[in-house]
Amino acid sequence: MPDLDGELHPVLRRLRASEPVSWLPVLGGWLVTRRDLALRVLRDSQTFTVDDPRFSTARVVGPSMLSLDGAEHKRHRDPFADGLRLTEVQARLEEFVEAEAGRLVSGFADAGQAELRRGLAGPLAVAVVAEVLGLGDTDPRVFLSWYDEIVGAVSALAGESGQGGGQGRGVAEPGPESGQQRTARGSEAFGKLKESLEAVMARGDEGSLIAAVAGRGRRDDGGRDDGGGLDDGRRDRGGLDGGEVVSNAAVLAFGGIETTEGMICNAVLQLLSDPGQLAEVIADHGLAANAVEESLRLEPAAAVVDRYATADVSLGGAQMRRGDFVSVSLTGAGRDPAFFPDPDRFDVHRPNARQHLAFAHGPHFCLGAHLARLEARAAVLALLRLPGLRLDRSRSAAVRGVVFRKPPELHVQWDVPTS
């Protein structure tokens, strides 16, 4: 496990070359590291599904687009898709995101130093998710505490199952509390989030994605607001009931906070680690977008995604059995030399950088990809206004994480003019 948590790239390089579909006892399943094989898994939701009882996120927040496949996945996903399309993100959120990034950087600009994970990346991600969900008036610290407790519960359940976690956590993080206590705290936090989202839906807040989805559900239900459905709990209409809207909103919060925070930190770290590439982006801000894509290729914030085999299947020379846990290494796919020449080099001019798999692929391609890209680009450009921006070399900025990869802390310095 330490090999996968720390400097995992040599491990992935070796596996990709010699055994691109490898059984790893430490994961309790298969690890897929080659790009073409990763695409096969991600595109084939019939053979490699997320709809499995071991998918622990569903055990905390209920069924959602993250834990369903086929027609049910489409029913849960489609109502949210319109509000997160590129044109909608640009029209409704671009100004907010850029202003919030600028505000956060301005808040510490006079200090000459900052820790960016908690000073910029995390707060920006939380503020944007709260804005999207209609919870902009909620104290960001309170919102983040709900999120932390829910993720803690998912981690604890994943550790009990030993195979995957929906959010990918195959091993529970250690702590003073038992798994049962963490699960209880997560359920309590989800209840508080649920109450706040139900209030947003009841008010029908203008501009809230959640209110819009809930309103669509009521319209599809002929005006009823009782969440009625079939006897098996699945509706025969396109709309979602209130509980389903809340479950999907919690999933959006997971992706919108955890992976976006990591995406911003990793992009800044890649740039500041390469003075030549940094100088090019400073000289031409138009390169910032491709710099973000190149960072996503090299070090995706979500290193793996989880699937479960629904049948006996052969993949890359490996013979999988029905029910096997399959982990797709998005990190391994991003450094596949068969597709990305000189794959370990950070190159802001790389022409096919955007063809990484950091947002997954197929039916479960990340719904918030456009918004996450906007946030990372806005954060980078806001930081580049700080003169002489550089890493604090006295502090470690090593990227870590089995599933969600980012530096635990990212300390930077810059020049502050003296009067």
Convert the pLDDT of each residue in 66-110 to its tens digit.
Answer: 999 999 999 999 999 989 999 999 999 999 999 999 999 999 999
Looking at domain 2-75+88-136+246-413, does it have CATH number 1.10.630.10?
yes
- pLDDT attached to residue 160: 54
Q: Which two tokens stand for residue 378?
A: 């806005």
pLDDT at 226 over 60: no
Indicate the domain borders of the chain. Answer: 2-75+88-136+246-413
What are 182-217's pLDDT values in tens digits? 888 888 988 998 999 999 988 887 678 888 888 765
pLDDT band at 218 (very low <50, low <70, confident <90, very high): low
Q: Which residue has the higher pLDDT, 226 or 394?
A: 394
- Residue 159 pLDDT level (bands cut at 50, 70, 90): low
- Bigger pLDDT: 233 vs 253: 253
Say yes or no to pLDDT of 140 above 90. no
2 or 392: whose pLDDT is higher? 392
pLDDT bucket at 419, cuts 50 / 70 / 90 = low
**Residue 175 pLDDT level (bands cut at 50, 70, 90):** low
- pLDDT attached to residue 56: 77
Whether residue 163 has pLDDT greater than 70: no
Residues 275-301 pLDDT 10s:
999 999 999 999 999 999 999 999 999
